[in-house]
Amino acid sequence: MDDHLKPLALARTGYEAYADYTEGKTFDGRDMPAWDDLGDPIQNAWAMAAGAIYHAILTPPGGGR
């Protein structure tokens, strides 16, 4: 798998896109921390979300049945 398609790289891309769209604000208006300041638990949560989206894109409707 290319490095840019690995879950953590996709997670960072998604997080930074979210930050760009919200002008760096969380859902409740606070400043978003930089990706590198999130810590492993939050980065891993984003990676799980990114991996699920990646898997959903690659899986045909009905799970390939």
Tell me the mean pLDDT in the region 38-49: 96
Q: How many CA atoms lie within 13 A of 60 on its CB side?
A: 3
How many domains are there within the chain?
A: 1
Task: Please provide residue 25's backbone torsions phi and psi, each rounded to the nearest 5 degrees.
Answer: -110, 145
Cα 39 to Cα 35: distance, rounded to the nearest angstrom? 8
pLDDT digits (tens, 9 = 90+) for 4-32: 778 899 999 999 999 999 999 999 999 99
In a domain, 37, yes or no: yes
Assess if residue 39 is contained within a domain.
Answer: yes
Nearest-5° Cα angle at 49, 16 to 43: 55
In this prediction, residues 41-57 reach a mean pLDDT of 94
Residue 32 belongs to some domain of the structure: yes
63 in a domain, yes or no?
no
Q: Which residues pair with 25 in a beta bridge?
A: 31
Q: For residue 47, give its domain range.
A: 3-58
62 vs 26, residue with greater confidence: 26
| Residue 63, pLDDT score | 65
Tell me the average pLDDT across 24-45: 97
For residue 18, is it within any domain? yes
- 41-54: average pLDDT: 95
